[in-house]
Amino acid sequence: MFDLFSGSHILILLAVLLVVVGPKDLPRFMRMVGQWAGKARAMANEFKKSFDDMARQEELDKLREELDKLRNTNLNVALDAQRVAEADLPPEGPPGGPLAEESPRSGEYQINAAPDAAGGPAAEPASTMGPRP
């Protein structure tokens, strides 16, 4: 950044301080300047720490909100499942039989087509879905 405190600048500054403050009071003045610098550094560290704590708290609040949303979603799904179970609803699907039957060929399922409106057999033959796991 700025080369304000190079070696020659520090020597010139010390010479001016020696003339202005005097050799007798120079050690006390330097100690006082050191204490001020320490206080300023401590205040800067405390300021930085407070901003870090605020950022950390913000992240924790966001995580809590996300967890609450997930918890509410899971609760709603569980309540919906309980309502469906308590309502004793019939299983969905075409009337008159299961949706899939095992094919004579081992490991495959056939999907039964729903009967047409007149109650007769479906127009399309049953399709095969492939091997079951």
Quick one: average pLDDT of 79-83? 84
Are residues 104 and 73 part of one domain?
Answer: no
**Could you give the CA distance from residue 110 to residue 126 in angstroms, rounded to a whole number?**
6
Do 108 and 127 touch, CB atoms closer than 8 A? Answer: no
Specify the pTM. 0.42
Between helices 26-87 and 7-21, what is the axis angle to 10°? 120
- Model pLDDT for residues 12-23, shown as the tens digit of each residue: 988 888 898 888
Are residues 55 and 13 part of one domain?
Answer: yes
Are residues 65 and 15 part of one domain?
Answer: yes
Task: Tell me if 94 is assigned to some domain.
Answer: no
Are residues 57 and 17 part of one domain?
Answer: yes
Are residues 106 and 70 part of one domain?
Answer: no
Task: State the total domains in the chain.
Answer: 2
- pLDDT beyond 70 at 103: no
Are residues 81 and 19 part of one domain?
Answer: yes
Task: Tell me if 95 is assigned to some domain.
Answer: no
The confidence band for 59, taking pLDDT boundaries of 50, 70 and 90, is very high
The confidence band for 114, taking pLDDT boundaries of 50, 70 and 90, is low
- pLDDT beyond 50 at 61: yes
Are residues 81 and 113 part of one domain?
Answer: no
Do 133 and 108 touch, CB atoms closer than 8 A? Answer: no
The dihedral sign for the CA sequence 72, 74, 80, 82: negative
Nearest to 94 by CA among 112, 114, 111: 114
Three-state DSSP at 62 gives: helix
Are residues 64 and 126 part of one domain?
Answer: no
Are residues 79 and 109 part of one domain?
Answer: no
- pLDDT beyond 60 at 108: no
Q: Which pLDDT value is given to residue 1? A: 47
Quick one: average pLDDT of 71-78? 87
Task: Tell me if 41 is assigned to some domain.
Answer: yes
- pLDDT beyond 70 at 90: no
Q: Which pLDDT value is given to residue 117? A: 54
Which residue range is the domain that position 116 belongs to? 100-131
- pLDDT beyond 90 at 94: no
Which H/E stretch holds residue 129?
Answer: strand 127-131
Find the length of the chain.
Answer: 133
Beta strands 108-111; 127-131: pairing state: antiparallel
Are residues 119 and 81 part of one domain?
Answer: no
Rounded mean pLDDT of the chain?
76
Are residues 82 and 105 part of one domain?
Answer: no
